[in-house]
C-alpha cells in the first residue's frame, strides 16, 4: 500500500483524498438515519450535498434543517470541518500528537494542500492552523451560543452556535435557520449586529489564508516586515470588503434595502460583500437582488478569498497579479512589480492559467445548464460563479436543476476547492518534459 501511495504525485494524493472523503460522506448521507423522514436520499442529491459540504460551498438541494436529521447535520458539519482545514492538515496534526515520524513526501503534500510556498516549518504551521482554528471557532461558538440562548434553550443554542461558527469560519454557508422557514439563511438577523459581526469576522479570518496568520503572528502590525503576499492579500481584502459594500449599497438602495433603517442598510451591504467572498450566508433575499447586483456579486464570488485558506475563487492574489501584469503591459514596463518587489514570470503565467481555466469551466457550465433548462441566464451565471468560487449563495434555482446540471455544479465545486490547476496536474502524473526548446516564431497580438 505504501509503495502505491509513494508512486502518486502530491497533487494526485490531494485529489484522491478529497474523493475518498466525498465517497464516505455520500454513503452516510444516503442512509435513512440521515433524513428527518427516514427516507433514502438519491445518490445524485447525496453526492451534491457532500461535495458542497466538503468543498465548503453551501449550495443545497434541500433545506439543511428541515430535510436532514441531527445525524445528517453532524455528517455535514464534519465534512465542512475536514474540507475547510484539509484532510492532510488534520492527518499531520494527529501524527504529531501520536509522535509519528513525518517524512519529506508527507511534508510536501501538506505544503501543496495548504498552498504554502516552502516546506520549512510546515509541521509547525499545521499545529498553528489547528490551534488557531480551535480558538477562532470556539470563540465564535461561545458568543453565538450566548446570543442564541435569548430565544432558544441552552442545548439548542450551543448546537447552533457551534454549527454556525464552524460553517462561517470554513466559509461554507450551511445554516440551520430553516426552523423558521425554508431557505431563509440569516435574513431574520439582518439588523442584528452581534450575529453579523461574529459571522463576518469568522468568514474573513477563515478566508484570509493560513500563511497570513503565520506572517502576522511573527511580524504583528509592522507593515514593512510583512511578506509581499501578506501585503497584497490584506489590502485587496479591505478593498473588496468596503468597496463591494459601497457598490451593493448603491445598487440595492431602492430594492432589497428599501424601508430599512440606515444602520441596517449599511450592515446588510457589508455582510453581502463579505459573504460573497465564498461564505454563502445571506441576510437579504438573494433571489430578489437586481440583475446588476447579481452580476457584481458573481464577480466578487469569482475572485473569492485568499490562497491557502478555507475560501475558493481564483483568489485575491491572482486578481492583483493579473491587474499588475495588465498595468505593466499597457504602459510598456519591462517588469511587473509591486511594493518594490518584482513578480516572476512564473507567477504571472500561473495567475493567467488559473483565470483562463476557471473562466472556461464557468462558460462551459453556463452553456450546459442553459441548454438543459429554461432558467434565466443571469441566475445561471450567479449559480455557476457561486459553485466555482465555493460560495454557496443561490438565486434559488439549485433545487430546480436536472441531473446533468447538478453534475456540472458538482464538478465546479470540486475544482473550486482543490484548485483547477491541482486537478489538471493530478491527471499529468510523473511525466517529464524533454529538455528540448522548439524554434521561436512571432505571433501578432492585438
Cell of 275: 459573504
CA atoms within 13 Å, Cβ hemisphere of 68: 26
Query: How is residue 342 annotated by DSSP?
Result: E
Phi/psi of residue 341, nearest 5 degrees? -125, 140
Distance CA 277, CA 261 (A): 25
In order, the DSSP letters of 234-276 are HHHHHHHHHHHHHHHHHHHTTTTTTTS-HHHHHHHHHHHHHHT
User: Which sign, positive or negative, has the C-alpha torsion 106, 112, 114, 118?
Assistant: positive
pLDDT number for residue 73: 96
Residue in the structure block whose three cell numbers are 484539509? 86
Distance CA 360, CA 235 (A): 28
| C-alpha to C-alpha distances, 439 to 258, 349, 432, 436, 442, nearest whole angstrom | 63, 20, 20, 10, 10
Phi/psi of residue 162, nearest 5 degrees? -65, -45
Cell of 136: 477562532
Phi/psi of residue 24, nearest 5 degrees? -60, -45
Give the H/E segment covering residue 341.
strand 341-342
Task: Report the predicted TM-score, pTM, of the whole model to 2 decimal places.
Answer: 0.88
pLDDT number for residue 417: 80
Regarding beta strands 337-338 and 341-342, do their DSSP bridges make them parallel or antiparallel, or are they unpaired?
Answer: antiparallel
Under DSSP, is residue 144 helix (H, G, I), strand (E, B) or coil?
A: helix
Cα angle for residues 245, 246, 251 (degrees, 5° grid): 95
Task: Give the mean pLDDT per block of 10 residues along the chain (446 residues).
Answer: 59 80 94 95 95 90 94 95 71 56 57 55 73 91 96 94 94 90 91 95 87 82 87 92 96 94 96 89 92 94 83 87 89 83 88 90 94 91 92 87 93 82 57 69 72
pLDDT number for residue 424: 58
pLDDT number for residue 311: 77
Distance CA 13, CA 113 (A): 9
Amino acid at each position: 500500500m505504501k509503495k502505491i501511495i509513494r508512486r502518486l504525485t502530491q497533487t494526485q494524493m490531494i485529489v484522491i483524498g478529497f474523493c475518498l472523503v466525498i465517497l464516505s460522506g455520500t454513503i452516510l448521507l444516503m442512509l435513512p438515519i440521515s433524513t428527518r423522514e427516514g427516507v433514502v436520499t438519491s445518490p445524485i442529491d447525496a453526492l451534491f450535498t457532500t461535495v458542497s459540504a466538503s468543498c465548503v460551498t453551501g449550495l443545497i438541494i434541500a433545506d439543511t434543517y428541515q430535510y436532514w436529521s441531527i445525524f445528517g447535520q453532524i455528517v455535514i458539519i464534519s465534512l465542512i470541518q475536514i474540507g475547510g482545514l484539509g484532510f492532510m492538515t488534520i492527518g499531520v496534526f494527529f501524527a504529531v500528537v501520536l509522535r509519528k515520524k513525518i517524512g519529506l513526501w508527507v511534508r510536501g503534500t501538506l505544503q501543496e494542500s495548504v498552498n504554502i510556498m516552502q516546506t520549512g516549518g510546515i509541521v509547525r504551521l499545521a499545529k498553528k492552523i489547528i490551534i488557531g482554528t480551535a480558538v477562532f471557532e470556539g470563540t465564535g461558538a461561545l458568543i453565538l451560543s450566548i446570543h442564541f440562548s435569548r430565544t432558544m434553550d441552552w442545548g439548542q443554542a450551543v448546537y447552533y452556535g457551534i454549527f454556525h461558527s464552524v460553517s462561517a469560519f470554513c466559509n461554507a454557508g450551511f445554516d440551520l435557520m430553516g426552523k423558521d422557514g425554508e431557505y431563509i439563511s440569516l435574513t431574520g438577523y439582518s439588523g442584528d449586529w452581534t450575529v453579523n459581526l461574529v459571522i463576518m469576522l469568522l468568514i474573513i479570518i477563515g478566508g484570509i489564508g493560513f500563511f497570513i496568520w503565520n506572517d502576522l503572528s511573527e511580524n504583528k502590525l509592522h507593515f514593512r516586515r510583512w511578506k509581499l503576499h501578506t501585503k497584497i492579500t490584506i489590502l485587496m481584502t479591505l478593498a473588496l470588503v468596503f468597496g463591494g459594500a459601497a457598490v451593493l449599497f448603491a445598487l440595492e438602495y431602492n430594492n432589497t434595502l428599501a424601508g430599512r433603517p440606515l444602520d441596517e442598510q449599511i450592515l446588510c451591504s457589508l455582510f453581502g460583500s463579505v459573504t460573497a467572498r465564498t461564505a454563502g450566508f445571506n441576510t437579504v433575499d438573494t433571489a430578489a437582488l437586481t440583475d446588476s447586483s447579481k452580476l457584481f456579486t458573481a464577480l466578487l464570488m469569482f475572485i473569492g478569498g485568499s490562497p491557502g485558506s478555507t475560501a475558493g475563487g481564483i483568489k485575491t492574489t491572482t486578481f492583483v497579479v493579473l491587474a499588475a501584469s495588465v498595468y505593466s503591459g499597457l504602459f510598456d514596463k519591462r517588469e511587473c512589480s509591486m511594493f518594490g518587489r518584482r513578480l516572476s514570470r512564473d507567477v504571472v503565467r500561473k495567475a493567467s492559467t488559473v483565470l483562463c481555466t476557471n473562466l472556461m469551466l464557468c462558460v462551459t457550465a453556463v452553456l450546459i445548464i442553459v441548454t438543459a433548462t429554461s432558467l434565466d441566464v443571469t441566475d445561471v451565471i450567479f449559480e455557476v460563479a457561486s459553485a466555482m468560487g465555493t460560495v454557496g449563495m443561490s438565486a434559488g434555482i439549485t433545487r430546480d436543476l436536472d441531473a446533468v446540471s447538478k453534475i456540472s455544479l458538482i464538478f465546479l465545486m470540486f475544482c473550486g476547492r482543490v484548485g483547477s490547476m491541482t486537478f489538471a496536474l493530478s491527471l499529468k502524473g510523473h511525466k517529464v518534459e524533454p529538455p528540448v526548446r522548439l524554434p521561436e516564431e512571432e505571433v501578432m497580438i492585438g
